[in-house]
Structure 1
Amino acid sequence: MLRAPDAVLSTPSEKVDPGDASVVQLAADLVATMRVSPGCVGLAANQVGLAWHVFCVDVTEHPKARTTHGTFVLCNARVVEASRKEKGREGCMSVPELTGDVKRATRLTVTGQLPPSGDEIVVETDAFEARAVQHEIDHCDGFLFLDRVAGAHAVYARKTYL
């Protein structure tokens, strides 16, 4: 797991072929890593050292989740529509010692491709799942949540170490 300020974390990712065997393996590895990492609800390829536009999300067990789509992996995802921004606290496996307040859309529509089929899907979500998806898309675009906080006053030392 890479940690800030590793250069890969600030590198915009490359689009991928969702059917490529290495992408399919990466998808499985991301999900497996997410599942064994306490408190983790999403993981992007660049967090494990690959600047590829791939991430997984699963907020099913999170108390703040309203809408959930279970575990899913998206390749080449992009936001189609975003509305109703709200401030919320975020943390990140790549910045384990800090959390921060980030303004994000609470209603979100995203398109992306599924590995290994390459089928394009549309994910419509809200609340915490929308926040998690935007956080992972930011990773793919080379941004950390720290790049989105309003300033130093909105960054906090993590109180619970996972």
Structure 2
Amino acid sequence: MIRKIVGSKDPVLRRISKPVKKVDKKVTNLIKDLSDTLSAQKDPEGVGLAACQIGINLRVFVMAKGKEIVPVINPEIVEVSKKQGYASHKEHSILEGCLSLPNYYTPLKRATTVKIKYLTPEGKEKVEEFTGFTAQIVQHEIDHLNGIMFVDRLLEQKKTLYKMEGGEWVEVELI
């Protein structure tokens, strides 16, 4: 079922999400709802969605990896590269955005490689390493599960926030 994505001012986005105790029907239904909701996003399109973004305070997210939607339950960062950079695609930097704050973007430096341990929907533990843009998605979604928004990272890194208005990038003044 497609669910409503909560806006950036919703307090659920600032809470640390609770671990999933048991991967059951409730969790698999949540994953389906997250997948349906992510797939339905067109303007802007999304590449990741955390449970808190649909108002559910659990450590679950889904992300697009190519054409596949990958569900991640109870992720823990095992290792991050010291090297930081901007995700890119075909030699162009990718600005980071968020479906809870649609049409706002910023260039953020993140670890270029991240290894996480997580549960699959079958309840199996998996350790996987992600690089580049996918590593950026993983870090963004884990931030959500820890009550951190991408604008917090923007302020830490003293970056500029941009808004897409009528096909043009407009710099947003932060107060």
What is the aligned partner in structure 1 of residue 79 from structure 2? 81
Rounded Cα–Cα distance in structure 2 between residues aligned with 1:90 and 1:16: 27
What is the aligned partner in structure 2 of residue 104 from structure 1? 110
Q: Is the 8 A contact 1:109 1:123 kept in 2?
A: yes
Q: CA deviation at 1:122?
A: 1.1
Q: CA deviation at 1:111?
A: 0.8
Mark the runs of 5 or more structure 2 residues left unpaired by the alignment. Answer: 88-94, 169-175
Moved more, 13-22 or 76-85: 13-22
What is the aligned partner in structure 1 of residue 49 from structure 2? 43
- Aligned partner of 2:143: which letter? D
What is the aligned partner in structure 1 of residue 32 from structure 2? 28
Compute the TM-score of the two structures, normalised by the length of structure 2. Answer: 0.81
Structure with larger Rg = 2
Q: CA deviation at 1:59?
A: 3.4
* Structure 1 residue 56 corresponds to structure 2 residue 62: yes
Any idea what SS the aligned residue of 1:8 has?
A: helix
Deviations 1:96-132 (A, max 9, x none): 14111221111111110012x2111012110000101
* Structure 1 residue 147 corresponds to structure 2 residue 152: yes
What is the aligned partner in structure 1 of residue 92 from structure 2? none
- Over the matched positions of the two proteins, sequence identity in percent amounts to 34
* Structure 1 residue 13 corresponds to structure 2 residue 13: no
Q: CA deviation at 1:20?
A: 2.1
- Aligned partner of 2:86: which letter? K
Q: Is the 8 A contact 1:18 1:114 kept in 2?
A: no
Any idea what SS the aligned residue of 2:49 has?
A: strand
CA root-mean-square deviation? 1.6
Rounded Cα–Cα distance in structure 1 between residues aligned with 2:97 and 2:47: 10
Rounded Cα–Cα distance in structure 2 between residues aligned with 1:71 and 1:7: 27
* Structure 1 residue 130 corresponds to structure 2 residue 135: yes
Moved more, 100-109 or 47-56: 100-109
Which runs of 4 or more aligned residues in structure 1 lie more than 3 Å from their structure 2 counterparts after TM superposition?
none
Rounded Cα–Cα distance in structure 1 between residues aligned with 2:103 and 2:47: 17
